[in-house]
Amino acid sequence: MKLRKIIRIRAILLAKSGLRIGMSRDQMAIGDLDNPVIRNPLTEEPYIPGSSLKGKLRYLLEWALGGDYILKSKDKHVYASPDPQDPVARIFGLAPENNPESLRIAQERGPTRLLVRDAYLTEDSKRELERVAARGGLYTEIKQEVFIPRLGGNANPRTTERVPAGARFGVEMTYRVLDALDEEYFKKYLLKALKLLELDGLGGHISRGYGQVFFLHPGKPWEGQEDLPLEERLEIQEVPL
């Protein structure tokens, strides 16, 4: 097993609706938000952790493939396929059990092919959001929602922090190609998962309209990309070794 090449995918992720990737907090001051978004502690800017993006891609692909991925994932975090050619385990990785057979399969399968980076706000998007900051927020909007009790009574308000629609993040992923099957899986499964992400969503509350995302090619004018297929809206490069 030898590394043949690396494929790098770059894109701008456009939040078409408010995007909320939350974080938990250890302490809360009086008047604090109870649902903050995750932020870089150095810059206080919201970002998309690679784990959120990768986890959602994996989840969508597993649902698209169905079967054991859903039915047998109950006892474990994810379904551990015994097949070294299993596309999900190959692309997204799988921690082997501590037994010789599982380790043998892991070795035959090889390392995780897909690496997903944390996605940070683009410079121009940051400047736009700084104008929001001047109006009291901190690169985000505080959205007020109300829960309505079905049998009358008082409305129960809740506040949620989210990155406003229109924000853009620089996305970068790396895909390792160790054999011909990896090349096939890149087109067949990874691009499919990215398409599903645009149709589904990212982050929390997507069933209520949050988290609609759209990929834009970073090197092309953004106007007119709405009608292009996904493959043409991603910058896909082969990195020489």
Partner 1 sequence: MRLTLFRLYFQSPLKELPRAPSLLGHLLWWYRYTHGREALEELLAEPLPFRLSSVFPEGWLPRPKLPPVQVEETEKRKALKNLRLVSLETFARLAEEGEGALLTAPELSGKTPPEPKRLRRSRVGIDRATGAARKGILFAEELLFPDPQTPYALYLLGDPPFDPKEALAFVGEMGYGGKASVGLGRFRVEGPFPCELPEAKTPTAHMTLAPGPLEGALYYELEPYWGRLGGGYVGATPFKRPHLRTREGSLYREVPGPLALDVTPLEPPEEGVRVYELLQVFPLGVRV
Q: Does 77 bind partner 1 (CB under 8 A)?
A: yes
Place of tokens 């938000």: 33
Q: Does 3 bind partner 1 (CB under 8 A)?
A: yes
Of the candidates 31, 67, 74, 123, which one interacts with partner 1 according to CB under 8 A?
Answer: 74
- Tell me which residues in 96-115 interact with partner 1 (CB under 8 A): 96-98, 100, 103-104, 106-107, 110-112, 114-115
d(CA 213, CA 211) in angstroms, rounded, equals 6
CB of 95 to partner 1, least distance (A): 3
CB of 134 to partner 1, least distance (A): 25
How many CA atoms, within 13 angstroms, populate the side-chain half-sphere of residue 228? 15
CB of 215 to partner 1, least distance (A): 17
Q: Does 2 bind partner 1 (CB under 8 A)?
A: yes
Mention every residue, 6+ apart, whose C-beta is less than 8 A from residue 101. Answer: 82
Q: Is residue 59 classed as helix, strand or coil in its secondary structure?
A: helix
Report the Cα–Cα distance between both ends of the chain, in Å, rounded. Answer: 15
Length of the chain: 241
Q: Does 121 bind partner 1 (CB under 8 A)?
A: no
Nearer to partner 1, 25 or 231 (CB): 25
The DSSP bridge partners found for residue 159 are 144
The H or E element that residue 91 is part of is helix 87-92
Q: Segment near partner 1 (CB under 8 A), from 9-17, 69-77, 138-146, 214-222?
A: 69-77
Per-position x/- string for 32-51, each x denoting binding to partner 1 as judged by CB under 8 A, each - no binding:
------x-xxx------xxx
Number of residues near partner 1 (by CB under 8 A): 49
| 109-to-3, 56, 184, 186 alpha-carbon distances in Å | 13, 22, 15, 15
Number of H-type helices and E-type strands within the chain: 7, 9
CB of 54 to partner 1, least distance (A): 5
Q: Is residue 57 classed as helix, strand or coil in its secondary structure?
A: helix
| Interface residues toward partner 1, by CB under 8 A | 1-3, 6, 23-24, 26, 38, 40-42, 49-51, 54-56, 59, 62-63, 69-70, 73-74, 77-79, 92-98, 100, 103-104, 106-107, 110-112, 114-118, 174, 241
